[in-house]
Structure 1
Amino acid sequence: MSSKPYIRPKVAVPKFSEENGFYTTEQRSYNMSRIRSKGTKPEKLLKKALWHAGVRYKTPKKLLPGKPDISLKKYKLVIFIDGAFWHGYDWEYRKHAIKSNQEFWIAKIERNIQRDQEINAYYQLKGWTVLRFWDFEVKNEIGICLSLILEKMGLNDFTFR
């Protein structure tokens, strides 16, 4: 028996093109092009809360695997703020709500979920702690997110000013 761990095959994502039967309107294309991966409102909100708590963080300049939103090298901690749609929040329920281009979007989001798991495993293997927050958690429960980060940093006795 092999001692290598089982690695699931990557989810195949079909190329998004009209030739493959995928379509989009000009308005939808424009809307999707406006979605940012960096500098989002939840990201800015969490960074501001960390700064006010006295935590000095880095926004990684050198691309780290998985492109974490915040890295705290001293504490070996990486933080990701995941969009609920793109990273498959409540996926087993929500994937049935996708009505157009299902073949593409379901495969795309399932590959994102798989990649998130691979990135988590990579950092954990290196001895880092990975924290992932949903964008709506940061917006609605910033205090809980901040407390969890401070706890992972070993600053449990921090009191909010």
Structure 2
Amino acid sequence: MDCVSSEKRSRMMAGIKAKDTKPELVVRRLVHGMGFRYRLHRKDLPGSPDLVFPRLKKVTFVHGCFWHRHPGCRFAYTPKSNAQFWLNKLEGNTRRDKSALAALNALGWQVLIVWECELSDLPALSRKMRTFLEADRC
């Protein structure tokens, strides 16, 4: 049983953003502080990646653990109310993610996924981003 009315739940869900989320802003500040420059949400690329590094031909997606079903993460649960709806919705998200990843790879782009739960350890995330962005760099 949901503890809020369906109207209030609808307003709450409508308030969830797809761009400029707090996790995305943290990653953007981190990468910018390292001296890397990027483009945002290029719609001409499959999946409209959150950060695009055109010169490096690399992209980064910042995924919420719940919405994109981070494997093994405690935040990637299925809500108990209206479970079938959520299962369909979240599985659709993961199918779309896999499709975008395959299309980007086919176009020659390298992809890094940053999970929301990784933001709790910024030094480790910084190392991960630097390793990804500096690999194969001339």
**TM tier, shorter chain?**
0.7 to 0.9
Per the alignment, residue 74 of structure 1 pairs with: 55
Per the alignment, residue 120 of structure 2 pairs with: 140
Q: CA deviation at 1:89?
A: 2.0
Give % identity.
33
TM-score by length of 2: 0.83
Is this contact kept in 1: 2:63–2:114, CA < 8 A?
yes
1:109 to 90, 96, 116: 90
Per the alignment, residue 131 of structure 2 pairs with: 151
Structure scoring higher RCO (CA < 8 A, sep ≥ 6) equals: 1
Structure 1 gaps, min length 5: 1-23, 157-161
Q: CA deviation at 1:113?
A: 0.8
Q: CA deviation at 1:58?
A: 1.0
Per the alignment, residue 17 of structure 2 pairs with: 36
Q: Residue 109 and residue 91 in structure 1: after superposition, are their counterparts in 2 closer, same or farther (change >3 A)?
A: farther
Give the count of matched residue pairs.
131
Q: CA deviation at 1:91?
A: 6.8
Cα RMSD of the aligned pairs, angstroms, is 2.3
Q: CA deviation at 1:154?
A: 2.3
Q: Secondary structure at the match of 1:74?
A: coil
TM-score by length of 1: 0.72
Q: CA deviation at 1:76?
A: 0.8
2:68 to 72, 81, 87: 87
The 2-side partners of 1:88 and 1:149 are apart by 21
Q: Looking at CA atoms only, which structure, 1 or 2, has the larger radius of gyration?
A: 1
Q: Counterpart of 2:127 in structure 1: which amino acid?
A: S
Deviations 1:2-52 (A, max 9, x none): xxxxxxxxxxxxxxxxxxxxxx71111111011111011111111111111
Q: Residue 72 and residue 92 in structure 1: after superposition, are their counterparts in 2 closer, same or farther (change >3 A)?
A: closer
Runs of 4+ off more than 4 Å: 91-95
Structure 2 gaps, min length 5: none
